[in-house]
């Protein structure tokens, strides 16, 4: 099954995601949590939406902004670094904005950073004057340099940026950093962050005025519900009324305690939404403070 023509009546929503790579599986998992399911084509490049009229295009990460700009797809899950780089390139070429970030998605976190040889002492951005910087993100780097009035050579590379200083093609680099292991292996150290990046949901600059508008609004509501409770857990327990204040003080990362009907023995049924993991240590502290019958429940989605 192939995607319909771009000129056809658009009553279905198309979302572009990575076919493979670090954003691919988390993107599919997020969309599945929003209630989407698909039938995949034989070439594994197009997924026809079965539960809702929302289809997937499986493509390269760096193709996604262009697909949104050309109207081939309506939304995309893409790294902020890629979205901002291509937006910067459009601006440098005198083209108007064609897409925007709609939601940060909370996965695929990394940073675009300057990294210098380990033996260098970092004294600040003014140190870059007249140096050569290798990068795969020339638009972001050039804009950052321009804002600071720094004249440096931008050496554009499509890959293996970290070996440029060894090869003598650049003095330092500007590249994505997650763990920092690749930099360390090449005797480089990160010194300055240009961009905090993660996976984002990108869409067009202008809102749709056809059937896609309602579909997009529904998807964003569901996505917000999933993301809101992504790291939350529902904590339920019983406790005597005189223990409530002490228990509330222990629950620093939780919503205010909700009191449910009183039990026959006079104890209260209590619950709260805890932001982040509930550790064994916290459970033991709550038990010592008077909590009983403690239960921790995972939360998949919320429309509240």
Three-state DSSP state, 145? helix
Kindly state whether residue 98 falls inside one of the protein's structural domains: yes
Contact 43, 36 (CB under 8 A): no
Contact 137, 81 (CB under 8 A): yes
Kindly state whether residue 6 falls inside one of the protein's structural domains: no
Q: Per-residue pLDDT tens, the chain, 304 aa: give them.
A: 444 444 444 789 999 999 988 999 999 999 998 999 999 887 778 999 999 999 999 999 999 999 999 999 999 999 999 999 999 999 999 999 999 999 999 899 999 999 999 999 999 999 999 999 999 999 999 999 999 999 999 999 988 899 999 999 999 999 999 888 999 999 999 999 999 999 999 999 998 888 899 999 999 999 988 887 777 788 999 999 999 999 999 998 888 999 887 777 888 999 998 887 788 889 999 999 999 999 888 776 665 5
Kindly state whether residue 7 falls inside one of the protein's structural domains: no
* Shared domain check, 146 and 119: yes
* Shared domain check, 292 and 211: no
Q: Structurally, how many domains does the chain consist of?
A: 3
* Shared domain check, 205 and 157: no
Residue that terminates a domain, selected from 147, 180, 197: 197
* Shared domain check, 241 and 175: no
Q: What is the CATH number of the domain that holds 26?
A: 3.40.190.10
* Shared domain check, 261 and 180: no
Residue 203 pairs with which residues in a beta bridge?
A: 100
Q: Report the C-alpha gap between 140 and 84 in whole angstroms.
A: 7
Cβ atoms within 10 A of the Cβ of 112, count? Answer: 25
Tokens of 24: 């691919």
Total count of residues recorded for the chain: 304
* Shared domain check, 163 and 140: yes
Backbone angles phi, psi at 49, to 5 degrees: -65, 125
Cα→Cα distances 161→111, 224, 236, Å: 15, 36, 51
Q: Which of 68, 58, 48 is nearest to 27 (CA)?
A: 58
pLDDT value at position 19?
92
* Shared domain check, 167 and 96: no
Place of tokens 């240009």: 194
Kindly state whether residue 270 falls inside one of the protein's structural domains: yes
pLDDT value at position 304?
54
* Shared domain check, 173 and 26: no
Q: Report the C-alpha gap between 86 and 99 in whole angstroms.
A: 10
* Shared domain check, 161 and 286: no
Q: Report the C-alpha gap between 139 and 154 in whole angstroms.
A: 9
* Shared domain check, 206 and 184: no
Q: What is the CATH number of the domain that holds 272?
A: 3.30.70.120
Contact 65, 76 (CB under 8 A): yes
Cα→Cα distances 80→46, 50, 140, 204, 220, Å: 23, 29, 11, 15, 18
Which ranges of 70-114 would DSSP assign to H, the alpha helix?
A: 80-92
Q: What is the DSSP letter of 29?
A: H
Kindly state whether residue 188 falls inside one of the protein's structural domains: yes
Q: What is the DSSP letter of 230?
A: T
Kindly state whether residue 4 falls inside one of the protein's structural domains: no
Q: Which residues contact 72 (CB under 8 A, 6 or more apart)?
A: 6, 14, 16, 57
Question: Domain range spanning residue 94?
Answer: 13-108+199-228
Kindly state whether residue 8 falls inside one of the protein's structural domains: no
Residue that terminates a domain, selected from 197, 212, 240: 197
* Shared domain check, 103 and 18: yes
pLDDT value at position 40?
85
Q: pTM for the whole thing?
A: 0.76
Q: Which of 217, 200, 218 is nearest to 208 (CA)?
A: 217
Residue that terminates a domain, selected from 187, 207, 228: 228
Kindly state whether residue 293 falls inside one of the protein's structural domains: yes
pLDDT value at position 151?
96
Q: Report the C-alpha gap between 97 and 29 in whole angstroms.
A: 29
pLDDT value at position 220?
95
Q: Report the C-alpha gap between 87 and 76 in whole angstroms.
A: 14
Contact 146, 138 (CB under 8 A): no
Q: Which of 220, 213, 204, 200 is nearest to 68 (CA)?
A: 204
* Shared domain check, 209 and 75: yes
């Amino acid at each position: 099954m192939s995607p319909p023509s771009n000129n056809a009546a658009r009553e279905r929503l198309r979302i572009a995601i990575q076919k493979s790579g670090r954003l691919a599986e988390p993107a599919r998992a997020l969309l599945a949590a929003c209630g989407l399911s698909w039938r995949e084509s034989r070439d594994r490049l197009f997924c026809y939406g079965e539960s809702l009229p929302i289809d997937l295009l499986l493509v390269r990460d760096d193709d996604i902004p262009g697909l949104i700009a050309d109207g081939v797809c309506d939304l995309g899950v893409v790294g902020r670094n890629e979205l901002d780089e291509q937006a910067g390139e459009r601006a440098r070429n005198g083209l108007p904005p064609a897409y925007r970030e709609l939601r940060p998605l909370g996965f695929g976190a990394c940073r675009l950073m300057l990294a210098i040889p380990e033996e260098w002492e970092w004294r600040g951005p003014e140190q870059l004057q007249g140096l050569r910087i290798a990068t795969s993100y020339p638009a972001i780097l050039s804009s950052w340099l321009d804002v600071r009035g720094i004249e440096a050579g931008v050496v554009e590379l499509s890959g293996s940026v970290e070996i440029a200083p060894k090869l003598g093609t650049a003095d330092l680099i500007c590249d994505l950093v997650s763990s920092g292991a690749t930099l360390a292996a090449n005797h480089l150290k990160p010194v300055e962050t240009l961009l905090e990046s993660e996976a984002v949901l990108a869409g067009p600059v202008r809102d749709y005025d056809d059937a896609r508008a309602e579909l997009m609004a529904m998807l964003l509501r569901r996505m917000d519900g999933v993301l809101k409770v992504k790291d939350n857990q529902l904590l339920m327990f019983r406790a005597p009324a005189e223990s409530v204040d002490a228990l509330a003080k222990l629950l620093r990362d939780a919503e205010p305690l909700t009191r449910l009907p009183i039990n026959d023995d006079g104890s209260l049924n209590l619950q709260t939404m805890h932001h982040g993991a509930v550790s064994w240590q916290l459970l033991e502290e709550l038990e010592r403070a008077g909590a009983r019958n403690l239960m921790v429940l995972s939360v998949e989605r919320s429309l509240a």
